[in-house]
């Protein structure tokens, strides 16, 4: 029988430029979450390395099978008998890097991986400029991963702005959605909460998103505020900007309850978009008839 309740945890970090220090910090926080009773623990985007210098980034990352953080968290999952969602790591992928998330089962085996689909290419009003596509390869598939409590829709950070991705995951069986992130402080202050609550409400799903927070060694500042949101849009747990752990009790039955009360997944209908031009203006000197 599928369990109907579990404790979820988000690990908030402030990853720096040393992958091994970041690994050790992640391991310590995941163990802390497990010691507090978490059955499912998620770490943020770029758990193993936050490094904006392209040459240094490539120098510090390697292939998936050699990634020290992935190897360490697989061992912790096995040791504690928990599900670990590694929010993402930078993984060498040809001449670029994949921003890749992993779901690790209680036996330490990799259940699923997901490469971030939507890449953050933007010029911000404060002068910051980001071109993820110059360094990263974008994924081309949405991923549902099975957990002991139901299906998890795996996404990463900027994906949260693309509502159709979350609807597709929910329509295909996801009860839990996630967007572990390294959100900038500026965009996070404006949009982080409303985006997460919207994705939860629109799909009648839990949103579980661990985040990076604070001023990092490479100079970027991230928003933090790791969130766990229920299918009615209520915030069950929220962090500030400091590293640490948040936990929330997840009642899987709330998914069916929310979708029964507001059945948007069932009520959706196909439609077409039709552009209707304005009437041609009357010739000068003439008055259009009523």
User: Residue written as tokens 């190897």?
Assistant: 71
CA distances from 276 to 61, 190, 290 (A): 52, 34, 20
φ, ψ dihedrals at 105, nearest 5°: -80, 170
Distance from C-alpha of 239 to C-alpha of 232, rounded to nearest angstrom:
20
What ranges do the domains of the chain cover?
Answer: 5-264
Q: What is the pLDDT along the chain (290 residues), one digit of tens a residue?
A: 888 999 999 999 999 999 999 999 999 999 999 999 999 999 999 999 999 898 999 999 999 999 999 999 999 999 999 999 999 999 999 889 999 999 999 999 999 999 999 998 877 777 767 788 888 999 999 999 999 999 999 999 999 999 999 999 999 999 999 999 999 999 999 999 999 999 999 999 999 999 999 999 999 999 999 999 999 999 999 999 999 999 999 999 999 999 999 999 999 999 999 999 999 988 877 665 55
Beta-bridge partner residues of 189: none
- Residue 288, pLDDT score: 56
What's the chain look like in SS3? CCCCEEEEEEEEECCCCCHHHHHHHHHHHHHHHHHCCCCEEECCCCCCCCCCCHHHHHHHCCCHHHCHHHHHHHHHHHHHCCEEEEEEEEEEECCEEEEEEEEECCCCCEEEEEECCCCCEEECCCCCEEEHHHCEECCCCCEEEEECCEEEEECCHHHHHCHHHHHHHHHCCEEEEECCECCEHHHHHHHHHHHHHHHHHHHCCEEEECEEEEECCCCCEEECCCEEECCCCCEEEECCCCCEEEEEEEECHHHHHHHHHCCHHHHCCCCCCCCCCCCCCCCCCCCCCC
Beta-bridge partner residues of 10: 42, 246
Residues in CB range of 280: below 8 A, 6 or more apart: none
Distance from C-alpha of 76 to C-alpha of 141, rounded to nearest angstrom:
28
Catalytic (active-site) positions: 45, 116, 157
Q: Architecture of 5-264 per CATH?
A: 4-Layer Sandwich (3.60)
- Residue 290, pLDDT score: 52
């Amino acid at each position: 029988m599928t369990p109907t309740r579990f404790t979820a945890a988000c690990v908030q970090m402030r990853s720096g430029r040393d992958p091994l220090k970041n690994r050790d910090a992640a391991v310590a926080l995941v163990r802390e979450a497990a010691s507090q009773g978490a059955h499912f623990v998620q770490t943020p985007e770029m758990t193993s390395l936050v490094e904006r210098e392209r040459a240094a980034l490539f120098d510090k990352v390697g292939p998936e099978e050699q990634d020290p953080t992935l190897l360490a968290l697989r061992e912790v999952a096995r040791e504690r008998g928990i599900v670990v969602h590694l929010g993402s790591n930078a993984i060498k992928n040809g001449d670029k890097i994949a921003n890749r998330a992993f779901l690790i089962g209680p036996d330490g085996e990799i259940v699923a991986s997901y490469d971030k689909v939507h890449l953050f290419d933007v010029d911000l009003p404060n002068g910051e400029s980001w071109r993820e596509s110059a360094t990263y390869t974008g994924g081309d598939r949405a991923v549902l991963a099975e957990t002991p409590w139901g299906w998890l829709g795996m996404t990463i950070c900027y994906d949260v702005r693309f509502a159709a991705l979350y609807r597709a995951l929910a329509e295909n069986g996801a009860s839990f959605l996630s967007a572990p992130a390294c959100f900038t402080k500026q965009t996070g202050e404006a949009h982080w909460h409303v985006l997460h609550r919207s994705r939860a409400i629109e799909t009648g799903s839990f949103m579980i998103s661990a985040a990076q927070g604070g001023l990092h060694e490479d100079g970027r500042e991230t928003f933090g505020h790791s969130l766990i949101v229920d299918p009615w849009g209520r915030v069950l747990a929220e962090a500030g900007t400091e590293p640490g752990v948040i936990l929330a009790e997840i009642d899987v039955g709330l998914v069916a309850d929310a979708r029964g009360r507001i059945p948007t997944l069932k009520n959706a209908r196909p439609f077409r978009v039709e552009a209707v031009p304005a009437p041609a203006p009357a010739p000068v000197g003439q008055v259009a008839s009523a």
